[in-house]
Amino acid sequence: MCGITGIVDFVNDPSEQILERMTRALTHRGPDAGGLCKFRDCAMGHRRLSIIDLTESANQPMFSDDGFIAIVFNGEIYNFKELRKLLEFQGENFRTRSDTEVLLRLYINMKERMLSRLNGMFSVAIWDDKEKRLFLARDRVGKKPLYYSSHGKRISFSSELSSLIEDPDVPRSIDRQAMSEYFLYDFIPAPHTIFTSVKKLPAGHMAIFDRSGIRVSRYWTPPVPETGLNYQTCKTALLDILSDSTDKRLVADVPLGAFLSGGIDSTLITALMSKSARSRVRTFSISFPGTTHDESQWSRLAAESIGSDHTEHRVDFDIENLFTKIVRHFGEPFGDSSAIPTWRLCRETRKSVTVALSGDGGDELFGGYERYLARRLQNIYDCLPKTLREKMIEPLVVKTRATTNYYGFSLTKKLKLFIEASARMRADPLALTPQTYTREEVNLLTGFSYDPGLDPAVAQAEQWLGLDTVTRMMFTDIQTYLAEDILTKVDRMSMAHALEVRSPFLDHRMVEFACRLPLSFKIKGGTTKLILRDVAQGWVPTAILKRSKQGFQVPLGEWFKNSLKHWAEQRLFDYDTGLLNKNSIEKIWRDHQNGRSDNTAKIWLILFFNEWKAQFA
């Protein structure tokens, strides 16, 4: 795993000093080597985390034989050996064993058509000095990030926003629409970023930049569900694809292990991994005993069943010291507080291995979230008389005192979330992405009128209007929540510790297969992940198959009432960004303290935004 940077300027000579600063800011992503290249109109930089072909010959930037084409690449191409054989058959001779050289030679032969041949996670930049053309691309589901800022005949790009803004030509004007989206969703959906002048290249997209400007286009879209599929045949195919995608992710010239939370997804991946590994698989988890958020008993059960060499880290989160580091590594507002345990898990795992497999993607692909079940219930609930809903049921639920326990163990919290989501989707059927603040609360907090017509998450939901309501939600999640929350979190927190994380569920063959399955194969009655649970039998302990999903969270809500109360108050009320309404913040804090609402997520979003503003804007 690596970090990439670059500047193309057709008017002024790209500054090597600026590029050096941008590239140096990505050292944490690639501590093993760094390099720069310079053409008349283009300069590109790279930081390398060595995974395959550890020799210097595989360092980047890498050049074509004639020296006119250069590549910088972040990620892994899992089918690079097969692609290499194909190219060798066509007469290509290779200098290295790396997947980077395969990418370079594939581009020379196929240009952007090569994207359809790639199985992997990547963000890539290729400069052709003869054609004066920059090619950028991001993998199908958005495992690897790519930011860019383009105006006129100049573009700069980087793997992280904090690196990109080392370029003084990138303005730091805050995008108020993107800021509103952050408070809605906990993340900013692509192509938006917190800065007006900066864009994220969306998952499954490519871009061409030349003297005529930039052209962004989609090269991949998830396929829609099919009819007439046989359940038993699909079970067999699912296991075959997942086994192969897991095997492909075991190729590395460095130590390799797996995250093991004790959920279905990570346990199944680790079991498949153990089947193919030459030695006992090393697995890693963290625990926070004494809270409703602790999953350690399940990870231990999974490890015992698989026979892995398991390491469990009992952690006492030092939020005060950790917080500023986490904000710095995201580079823009990011409100998913599960970044905290992810940071700790990645840090501890990196002490033993350089690559770790994960179960990311299983919930979005196979209907694992309880909100998918809730969406079905909402269809029934919405048929109740409006008076019954608004005059009796909803006021009763709203008045119920809130708990800070994990929502999976709190009926009160589930009911509150259900009522809120139902009201939101009645008002706007395209508001499918989970929201922390309502649109009205965002407008009050920011003083800015959020525009749903400019919201990329709403546009994604609109794309899937032809699907049933639950499938529409799942497809929207794949292109918003998965790409810009889950995968962003894992990328930043793993790269902060130079750890590569690989996700077999997100092999594009697995994603496309899962998308083609009808909803009835995924959700039946109150059972989520139906086909995946069936496939996992014999691989995963029965107790784990029957357990409810549990999120990867820490008990911040309770800490805000005791151990972190003074720390949070100081950062809420002494950090005046000039962008947030103090009266709104005071009410959010007061309601949390007196138990009227569990405002943990809302408070965390404000804390993160204030710290980000202090560091970057």
pLDDT at position 372 is 93
pLDDT at position 415 is 82
CA dihedral over 136, 141, 144, 150, signed as positive or negative: positive
Q: Is residue 571 part of a domain?
A: no
User: Is residue 223 scored above 80 in pLDDT?
Assistant: yes
**Listed residues 554, 570, 589: the one ending a domain:** 554
- The closest of 286, 289, 288, 295 to 350, measured between CA atoms, is 286
Full DSSP string of 344-373: HHHHHHHTT-SEEE--TTHHHHHT-SHHHH
Kindly name the residue from 2, 37, 42, 515 that is annotated as catalytic: 2
- The predicted-structure confidence for 357-379, as pLDDT tens digits, reads as follows 999 999 999 999 999 998 888 88
In the chain, how many domains are there? 2
CA dihedral over 171, 192, 496, 48, signed as positive or negative: negative
Average pLDDT score over residue span 199-204:
98
- 597, burial (CB in 10 Å: exposed 0-12, middle 13-18, buried 19+): middle
Classify 475 as helix, strand or coil. helix
- The predicted-structure confidence for 423-468, as pLDDT tens digits, reads as follows 888 888 888 999 999 999 999 999 999 999 999 999 999 999 999 9
pLDDT at position 563 is 92
Catalytic annotation on 515?
no
- The predicted-structure confidence for 262-308, as pLDDT tens digits, reads as follows 999 999 999 999 998 778 999 999 887 655 556 788 999 999 999 99
CATH of the domain at 125: 3.60.20.10
Q: Is residue 589 part of a domain?
A: no
Same domain, 89 and 195: yes
H or E stretch at 157: strand 154-158
Q: Is residue 585 part of a domain?
A: no
Q: Quick one: pLDDT band at residue 412, thresholds 50, 70, 90?
A: confident
Same domain, 210 and 227: no
pLDDT at position 410 is 67
Helices (H), 48-144: 80-89, 99-110
**Listed residues 520, 554, 588: the one ending a domain:** 554
- HEC profile of 2-71: EEEEEEEECCCCCCHHHHHHHHHCCCCCCECEEEEEECCCEEEEEEECCCCCCCHHHCCCEECCCCCEEE
% of the chain surpassing 70 pLDDT: 96
Least confident window among 46-55, 230-239, 261-270, 512-521: 46-55
**Listed residues 554, 578, 594: the one ending a domain:** 554
Q: Which token pair is 434? A: 């989970």
pLDDT at position 551 is 64
User: Is residue 249 scored above 60 in pLDDT?
Assistant: yes
- The predicted-structure confidence for 112-169, as pLDDT tens digits, reads as follows 999 999 999 999 999 999 999 999 999 999 999 999 999 999 999 999 999 999 999 9
pLDDT at position 53 is 67
User: Is residue 4 scored above 80 in pLDDT?
Assistant: yes
- The predicted-structure confidence for 501-534, as pLDDT tens digits, reads as follows 999 999 999 999 999 999 999 999 989 999 999 9
Same domain, 9 and 125: yes
Q: Is residue 37 part of a domain?
A: yes
- Residue 141 carries which side chain, given as an amino acid letter? V
- Residue 452 carries which side chain, given as an amino acid letter? P
Q: Quick one: pLDDT band at residue 30, thresholds 50, 70, 90?
A: very high
Which structural domain, as residue segments, surrounds residue 233?
A: 223-554
CATH of the domain at 335: 3.40.50.620
Classify 393 as helix, strand or coil. helix
User: Is residue 402 scored above 80 in pLDDT?
Assistant: no
Average pLDDT score over residue span 64-83:
96
pLDDT at position 49 is 83
- The closest of 165, 528, 198 to 368, measured between CA atoms, is 528
- 383, burial (CB in 10 Å: exposed 0-12, middle 13-18, buried 19+): exposed
pTM: 0.94
- The closest of 43, 54, 46, 17 to 29, measured between CA atoms, is 46
Query: How many C-beta atoms surround the C-beta of residue 410 within 10 A?
Result: 17
Same domain, 387 and 474: yes
